[in-house]
Amino acid sequence: MTDHILRMSGITKTFPGVKALQDVTLSVRRGEIHAICGENGAGKSTLMKVLSGVYPHGAYEGEIRFEGETCEFGGIRDSEHAGIVIIHQELALSPQLSIAENIFLGNERARRGFIDWNRTNFEAAQLMERVGLRENPTTVVSDIGVGKQQLVEIAKALSKEVKLLILDEPTAALNDDDSAHLLDLLRGLRDEGITCVIISHKLNEVTAIADSVTIIRDGRTIETLDMATDAVTEDRIISGMVGRALDNRYPPHEPTIGEEVLRIEDWTVYSPSQPGRKVVDGAALTLRRGEIVGLAGLMGAGRTELAMSLFGRTYGVNISGKVFKDGKPIEIRTVQDAIRHGLAYATEDRKRYGLNLIEDIKRNVSAAGLSGLSRRGWVDEHQEYAVAERFHKSMNIKAPSVSSVVGKLSGGNQQKVVLSKWILTEPDVLILDEPTRGIDVGAKYEIYTIINRLADEGRAVLVISSELPELLGLCDRIYTLSEGRITGEVPRRDATQERLMHLMTKGQE
């Protein structure tokens, strides 16, 4: 009989209106590296939050057995006490503290309430040695690179006598050398007897390091593969991740494709927080009038960064490349430039970047197009009302009046307000970043219909989406992005989920 360190069974987690996890099973053998694969939103992170106690016992259904005992974690402290440590994608280090202080944060080496600094730094040095981090324990964390910060996190986990280490996308922000070092370290920890669970989009890493892999799709466990006995290839994992039937959740659309309206060439963007890291690398794409173009990529591929850097340099540093509008080269330095050149960008996070939630519908609709509603700096409030009322009807925004506060609307109706705001600026190119995220099925259909209508009006639409079926159902052409590079361009008739996922997970050769 196999020795399982962890068995999760029948895990179901419901958020209002959404079943994020449904009867999920996960069994991890002692001393293995176990990968969890799935599309964005498949439920991987939710499952790990259930395991680590972020969602406490009672907030979910199902059973967790760790080390043969049933666990009812009330919070992260409980799970850590049992020996389960999770390292999130966004590192949880305190940047102004030293490496040693971070390692023992919340777990200080102290005597009668006073920190024993000699012991702190001595033990930190030992842990750092174990993870291969060659730095002074007193170095401030913000002075070392992300790769080394990741090692600090692991050292911190080791200080807690970890039995099961969970890493969420550990290499997403790392360069190749740091990634290779990290994977070696995980192998070493496995040999010391520490079980690891890693969540990763990089399938080449998964096949290289994992002993078994569990595939999750739409909140359900699809299968668990044993790398030693099953012949597991990247293709095999992909088919598990995407094997989903397409249904007619998409309105039919016959495109009328016209002239090229926007082209970017050799678009390169560097990360503002990690100097020297290319987030977008030599990307090129073309958009034509009347065309709906998809941009597919996994989390961290650089989709939003590409869009925001193009939209008035709202993301990134050292941006280089050429932009052509209607065949003529243009410069877009600010959001105002972008709007003037007929670009619109509806962000993926409506509430943070798209809307003023405390204002009403009409003032949100007019927010980007006030110049068209004003004369010599004075807003024509009656015209503003009339315009908002027009969108209220044409977009079918479900609200009592255009004076309703936007924060009260449902996600779908908020998204319609965002779209109205941008349509008011009369754009030639609309970039829609996750236009249906957090929206229920009925409203999604309405949003798709609006997108089709926008294309029929002769605009070019670029849709960024994590949901492959959505891209396949909506787009005339799809670009794939992986690690900041355009890895493919697939016309609708040739596009399948497998083909796209293959291109999206293509690493650098």
Partner 1 sequence: MSSITPAGVKAGAQGGGGGEPRRPGRVSLGGLSLNLRASGIYIAFALIVVLFSVLTDGALLTPQNISNIIVQNSYVLILAIGMILVIIAGHIDLSVGSVVAVTGALAAVLMVNMGMPWPLALLLTVVAGGLIGAWQGYWIAYFGIPAFIVTLAGMLLFRALTLTVLGNRGIGPFPDQVRTLANGFTSGYLGNIGLGPLGGADLFSLLIGVIAIAGMVTAQWRSRAARAGYGQSVEPIALFALKMAAGAAVILFLVVQLARFHNLPWVLVLLAILVLAYSLMANRTVFGRQIYAIGGNLQAAVMSGVKVKKVVFWIFVNMGVLSAIAGIIFAGRLNQAGPTAGNSFELDAIAAAFIGGAAVQGGVGKVVGAITGGLIMAVINNGMSLIGSPSERVMLVKGAVLLAAVAFDVWTKRRAGAAG
Say which residue the tokens 């925001």 belong to: 308
**Beta bridge pairs of residue 329:** 324
Nearer to partner 1, 111 or 352 (CB): 352
Which parts of 487-506 interact with partner 1 (CB under 8 A)? none
**Residue from the set 60, 66, 267, 345 that interacts with partner 1 by CB under 8 A:** 345
**CA dihedral (408, 412, 413, 419) positive or negative:** positive
> 270-302: buried (b, 16+ CB within 10 Å) or exposed (e) per residue?
bbeeeeebbbbbebebbbbbbbbbbbbbbebbb
Site membership for partner 1, residue 310 (CB under 8 A): no
Segment interacting with partner 1 (CB under 8 A) among 8-16, 126-134, 383-391, 486-494: 383-391
How far apart CA 203 and CA 384 sit, in angstroms, is 51
Angle ∠(35,196,227) on CA atoms, nearest 5: 40
Segment interacting with partner 1 (CB under 8 A) among 123-131, 183-191, 289-297, 366-374: 366-374
**Residue from the set 33, 157, 367, 451 that interacts with partner 1 by CB under 8 A:** 367
**Residue from the set 304, 420, 465, 482 that interacts with partner 1 by CB under 8 A:** 304
Question: Could you tell me if 422 and 346 are in contact, meaning their C-beta atoms sit under 8 angstroms apart?
Answer: yes
Nearer to partner 1, 345 or 391 (CB): 345
How far apart CA 406 and CA 371 sit, in angstroms, is 22
Site membership for partner 1, residue 381 (CB under 8 A): yes
Say which residue the tokens 């990089």 belong to: 202
Q: Report the chain's C-alpha Rg in angstroms.
A: 25
**Contact characters 73-102, partner 1, x per CB under 8 A:** -----------------x------------
Nearer to partner 1, 224 or 374 (CB): 374
Say which residue the tokens 């409506």 belong to: 350
Nearer to partner 1, 1 or 358 (CB): 358
Site membership for partner 1, residue 272 (CB under 8 A): yes
**Contact characters 406-435, partner 1, x per CB under 8 A:** xxx------------x--------------
Question: Could you tell me if 406 and 414 are in contact, meaning their C-beta atoms sit under 8 angstroms apart?
Answer: yes
**Residue from the set 314, 396, 410, 449 that interacts with partner 1 by CB under 8 A:** 314
**Residue from the set 110, 115, 246, 386 that interacts with partner 1 by CB under 8 A:** 386
Nearer to partner 1, 257 or 379 (CB): 379
What is the distance, to the nearest Å, from the Cα of residue 348 to the centroid of all Cα atoms in its chain?
Answer: 10
Look at residue 236 and give its three-state secondary structure. Answer: helix
How far apart CA 481 and CA 304 sit, in angstroms, is 11
The shares of helix, strand and coil residues in the chain, as percent rounded to the nearest 5, are 35, 30, 35
Nearer to partner 1, 117 or 353 (CB): 353
Shortest spacing between CB 449 and partner 1, in angstroms: 25
Shortest spacing between CB 346 and partner 1, in angstroms: 9
Question: Could you tell me if 197 and 166 are in contact, meaning their C-beta atoms sit under 8 angstroms apart?
Answer: yes
Q: Which spans of this chain sit near partner 1 (rule: CB under 8 A)?
A: 90, 272-273, 299-300, 304-305, 308, 311-317, 334-336, 338-339, 345, 347-349, 351-359, 363, 366-368, 370-371, 374, 377-379, 381-382, 385-386, 389, 401, 405-408, 421
